[in-house]
Amino acid sequence: MSAQIVPPGGATPPARHGLDPAFTDLPLIRLADAALAAATAAGAEFADFRFERLLTSTLSIRDTAVQGATDAQTTGFAVRVIVDGVWGFAASVVPTADEAASTARRAVQVARALAGVVDERVERADEPVHADLAWVSAYHIDPFSVAGQDKIALLLDRSERLLASDGVAHTQVGLFQVKENKFYCDTAGTSTTQQRVRLEPTLTATAIDSATGAFETMSSLTPPVGRGYEYLTDGSWDFDGEIAAMGEQLLEKMKAPSVEPGRYDLVIDPTNLWLTIHESIGHATEYDRAIGYEAAYAGTSFATPDKLGSLVYGSPGMHVTGDRTVEHGLATIGFDDDGVAGQSWDLIRGGILVGYQLDRTFAHRLGLPRSNGCAYADSAGHIPIQRMANVSLQPDPGGGSTADLISGIEDGIYVVGDKSWSIDMQRYNFQFTGQRFYRIRGGRLAGQVRDVAYQATTTDFWGSMDGIGGPQTYRLGGAFNCGKGQPGQVASVSHGCPSARFRGVNILNATQEAS
Amino acid sequence: MTGRAVGLLSPQRIVEAALGASVADGCVVVVNSSSSANIRWANNTVTTNGVARDLSFFVVSVVGGAAATVAGSASDAASADSVAAVVSAAHAAAVATSRLGPARDAQPLVEPGAGGADDFDDDPADTSFAVFDPLLAGLAEAFAAARSDGRVLYGFVDHDITTTYLGSSTGLRLRWVQPTGTLEVNAKSADLRRSVWSGLSTRDFAGPDIGTVLASLRQRLEWAKRTIDLPPGRYRTVLPPTAVADLMINLAWSAGAREAHEGRSAFAAPGGGTRSGERLTDRPLTLFSDPAAVGLEAAPFVVAGHSSDDVSVFDNGAPIGRHDFVRDGVIGSLLHTRGSAVEFGEPFTPTTDNLVLTGGAADRDIDALVADVDRGLLLTSQWYIREVDPMTMLLTGLTRDGVFLIERGEVVGAVNNFRFNMSPLDILRQAADVGATVPTLSREWSDWFTRTAMPPITVDGFNMSSVSPAT
């Protein structure tokens, strides 16, 4: 097949790679034709066909030995249909035209079987037809082209250097890499082929005081990214500097005083704040949650549609965007799994809720003319659902540095790196820990404290934000493992944010919380 | 019904083709053939749904005591040549890994035991959307009743059958069929202010009746008509079996022997060694996994595609027996691979995919426990449980969809939700009353861990750390 590789709208990067021939040589169009024809013949008023190939590689090194090395390829296809206003879905892995047609007929059968238990008919917002287009994410070195022994050597060297630090008893170094190919085709005429690459390097050191039974860990602040293998060596992240400092930071953490619980002013580093954004804004502004589609599982949202345009989410300087276009973003795409082109939009502006993340069904329901492109399925075996865009807190264009924010606190805590997280089913009450916590006294850092967890209610917390760092503090964090839906699906997502300052946040002592 | 996929090699032929192509020191091949069906609903109507078939396999190649795994899917299962390509990739990866010497968990591959599987040549088992036929009529009635009664239903039903074939260069030929089914229902009042949940695990949907599930939820919605605000604090709290399962699963997941011996888990003892043998409670509580647990049957042999601290690819095919995490109130053995067992001089102790807690009063159910509480809470469902402090196994989470006040042995109303901070070890240490063990479904971990049997437990001093305004 040949598809035109184009930058579809927005800040899509120029393709540095073409589509993998190993993917495009698969019988994608033949299977799609068979499936869509069979679905139409069986009575579907709409059908789409999606073929997915997922390449993954997991390498883990513990101390000085390889603990696990696993490469995997997963392929399969799915047919989704609308029959008399009812969704039907079926998936298979057998790449033949007969099986594609049979799978389409099974999807139609499912829709018909459910006709008696469906009370609302599927209606969707329009989307222009995107015919025969391709999109490839921005990366330079395909991580799947790098020899296993080279990856092992790189990771082993990092593990050994960290292990040589005073006080480090054990290390765990890992690399998770993914290449995701999607071919999407529907009865409206859209046909897209995509290729995305992402990497998640991890690095953790453990210190142990065997006499007391105490132990502590410290993990790298490296975010997972939509980049190629170059991320590990090109200096875009300072791995060497981090490894050189981690041992001493861990020793200081082991010896640090336990925090006195109470209310503190906080400066939160982007390496921690991205996760708070993910949980308290990213999920809360998913429209499917807001109208109850996740009520039995992932939960709902306090940010319901009746509050759109009026809910005071946070302080007036709060500007949060959703996007599927930022370069190297983990949720960045050319087209979503509804065939909608990637876009960017506002979710919170001036501290007020102004938007949601949508797929085509929910856009129609909200009365909007177009989806903002948030349909996603994590594999051929799962039906697309509304998943998270890159949701990011924008910096203050005239904002200062992290040190400037710290200088505005007389007695507080500076929070660095993410660790434990939990939030309630309406996205109100959350609790987070971190990798490092520094006391702030008189506007300056005054050494680490330990056992810190911060706990707040979403709108109180964002309402207490009185300082937003400038663009120089802005970083993209993220995760590979955002879970949602039943059957459970995982998605990768990035969150950009600057450092920010919050007043009077409740700090718990994790040790005192235990009995 | 057979789940054999036309156009692909059969699972058995994949196993033999891979083993035949291997030139490594050792080779393990695992093929998983699965089919699944699901229905999801919200706001009294079905939303998403579907059926899926899958086939995947992985090859573990062993070279010089080092191992690597390469997994293939249906596209790699069309011919012996395509299977051989996966084997070749696994071998190359193992060669690269072997340059660092043998893996720490290296052990000779498992040899066949006496007897062996007599069903290896059988086709994969299969499920289909028809498994829900008995349920659909009940669901339609439930939606109709909910609309007329001012309730809103949300939920999910899922069925999966996975057939696993395992073969090795040492001659192992094993097969296991694992059916997994869940039914979960969340009911809310029309104003969404009252919310309750119930779920169950089933192998085949032959028994579950959605009407029975809904009946228990109606009672809780009635209880919730009266609401009471309570402050944070430590409360005597009755946990039903589902909530106990949420917390005990975390305990089992934290029970690695290597981590404890190395001093980096809650099971590490000060001064070195582990806490195995330490008494948690005078109550005769026993927490165990057992592949033969009736109704909760799970794989009786190790299947591992990737080594970690607690599992090893070298152990693939090793028989799994009963493992006691806690025995009569005392911490039992921790989880060892064969490699770590040798390293630390302890027995090999694998675990399987189920969990049972026993030792309560066989004649006491949740109602009996509630009846004996003068003032406390009934916590019917938990959410977003995450580890806060691995040293104490402290977990945080939220109450959800039904936390009630008990006064003088009776439920008197629903209270606000809380964030809690508790260690599962303290659940056992602070158990004040324990009832009969029954099959249950953990809500928090139902995506991954569905086979549990737990008792209800009354816990003293359950730490409700703060109030959540969520309803």
Q: Could you report the per-residue pLDDT of B251-270, keeping only the tens digit for each?
A: 999 999 999 999 999 999 99
Query: Tell me, what's the pLDDT at B338?
Result: 98
Query: Least CA distance to A66: which residue of chain B?
Result: B103
pLDDT at A434: 98
CB distance B71–A420 less than 8 Å?
Answer: no
* pLDDT exceeds 90 at position A8: no
- d(Cα B261, Cα B215) in Å, to the nearest integer? 48
pLDDT band at A414 (very low <50, low <70, confident <90, very high): very high
Contact A510 B389 (CB under 8 A): yes
Report the distance separating Cα A78 and Cα A110, nearest Å: 13
CB spacing of B100 vs A64 below 8 angstroms = yes
Q: What residues of chain B lie within 8 A of the CB of A62, using their CB? A: 104, 309
With CA atoms as reference, the chain A residue closest to B264 would be: A215
Q: Would you state the pLDDT for residue A515? A: 62
pLDDT band at A4 (very low <50, low <70, confident <90, very high): low
Torsion of CA A313, A315, A316, A319, to 10 degrees: -60
Q: Provide, as residue numbers in chain B, all residues whose Cβ is less than 8 Å from the Cβ of A147.
A: 96
Confidence of residue B10 (pLDDT cuts 50, 70, 90): very high
pLDDT of A20: 96
Instruction: Render pLDDT for B302-342 as a digit per residue (tens, 0 to 9).
Output: 999 999 999 999 999 999 999 999 999 999 999 999 999 99
CB atoms A60 and B93 under 8 Å: no
Residue recorded with tokens 């047919």: A79
Query: Which one-letter amino acid corresponds to residue B202?
Result: T
Q: State whether A483 and B469 contact (CB < 8 Å).
A: no
Q: Which of B37, B43, B40, B46 is nearest to B140 (CA)?
A: B46
Closest CB from A92, A107, A120 relative to B53: A92
How far does the CA of residue B344 sit from the closest CA of chain A (Å)?
16
Handedness of CA B278, B284, B287, B289 (dihedral sign): positive
Contacts of A211 in chain B (CB under 8 A): 270-271
Considering only alpha carbons, which residue of chain B is nearest residue A206? B264
Contact A69 B69 (CB under 8 A): yes
Q: Which of A20, A60, A81, A114 to mutate to test the interface with B (most CBs of B within 10 A)?
A: A114
Tell me what percent of the residues of chain B surpass a pLDDT of 70. 98
Over the stretch A110-137, which tens digit does the pLDDT of each residue have?
999 999 999 899 999 999 999 999 999 9
Neighboring chain B residues of A109 at a CB cutoff of 8 Å: 129
Token pair of A158, please? 């990092």
Chain B: closest CA distance from residue A117 (Å): 5
Overall average pLDDT of the A460-474 stretch: 98
Supply the DSSP symbol for A306: G
Nearest CA in chain B to A78: B52
Task: Taking residues B418-440, report their average pLDDT.
Answer: 97
Give me the percent of chain A exceeding a pLDDT of 70: 97
Contacts of B36 in chain A (CB under 8 A): 381, 487
Q: Which of A51-60, A287-296, A333-342, B137-146 shows the lowest mean pLDDT across its residues? A: B137-146
Chain A hits for B129, Cβ within 8 Å: 106, 109-110, 113
B471 pLDDT tier (thresholds 50, 70, 90): confident
Closest CA to A296 of B185, B308, B297, B435: B185
User: Looking at residue A9, what is its pLDDT?
Assistant: 44
Give pLDDT, residue B116.
64
Is residue B1 pLDDT above 60, yes or no?
Answer: no
Tens-digit pLDDT profile for residues B337-374: 999 999 999 999 999 999 999 999 999 999 999 999 99
Band of residue B4 on the pLDDT scale cut at 50, 70, 90: low
**Cβ–Cβ gap A426/B465 under 8 Å:** no
Q: How far apart are CA B269 and CA B371, in angstroms?
A: 39
Give B42→chain A minimum CA distance, Å.
5
A292/B152 Cβ within 8 A: yes
Distance from CA of B271 to the nearest CA of A (A): 4
Q: Across the interface, do B185 and A296 touch by the CB < 8 Å criterion?
A: yes
The minimal CB distance from B69 to the residues A70, A78, A214 is found for: A70
Going by pLDDT thresholds of 50, 70 and 90, the confidence category of residue A141 is very high
DSSP state of A312: B
Q: What pLDDT shows up at residue B137?
A: 86
CA distance A13 to chain B (A): 31
Q: How confident is the model over B119-161, as pLDDT tens digits?
A: 999 999 999 999 999 888 889 999 999 999 999 999 999 999 9
**How confident is the prediction for chain A on average, in pLDDT?**
95
Mean pLDDT on B258-284: 96
Nearest chain A alpha carbon to B422: A514
pLDDT for residue A465: 98
Q: Is A295 within 8 Å of B139 when comparing Cβ atoms? A: no
Q: Which residues of B touch A421 (CB under 8 A)?
A: 386
The closest of B172, B184, B424 to B319, measured between CA atoms, is B172
Say yes or no to pLDDT of B300 above 90.
Answer: yes
Q: Do B39 and A114 touch (CB under 8 A)?
A: yes
Residue B96 to residue A95, Cβ atoms within 8 A:
no
Helix (H, G, I), strand (E, B) or coil at B286: strand
Rounded average pLDDT over A223-234: 96
How far does B389 lie from chain A, in Å, by closest CA?
Answer: 7
How far CA B102 is from CA of A238, A486, A515, B64, B327, in Å, comes to 31, 41, 43, 6, 35
pLDDT digits 0-9 by tens, B176-227: 999 999 999 999 999 999 999 999 999 998 877 788 888 889 999 999 999 9
Q: Which residues are A438's β-sheet partners? A: A414, A448
- What's residue B5's pLDDT? 67
What are the DSSP E strand ranges found in B64-171?
Answer: 66-73, 151-168
pLDDT digit string, tens, across residues A28-69: 999 999 999 999 999 999 999 999 999 999 999 999 999 999
Give the tens place of pLDDT for each residue, A167-210.
Answer: 999 999 999 999 999 999 999 999 999 999 999 999 999 999 98
Which pLDDT does position B213 carry in this prediction?
87
From chain B, pick out residues whose CB is under 8 angstroms from the CB of A71: 68-71, 89, 93
**Option in A65, A91, A215 nearest B52 (CB):** A91
The reply to whether residue A94 touches residue B383, judged by beta carbons under 8 angstroms, is no
* DSSP per residue, A10-59: SSPPPPSS---HHHHTSSHHHHHHHHHHHHHHTT-SEEEEEEEEEEEEEE
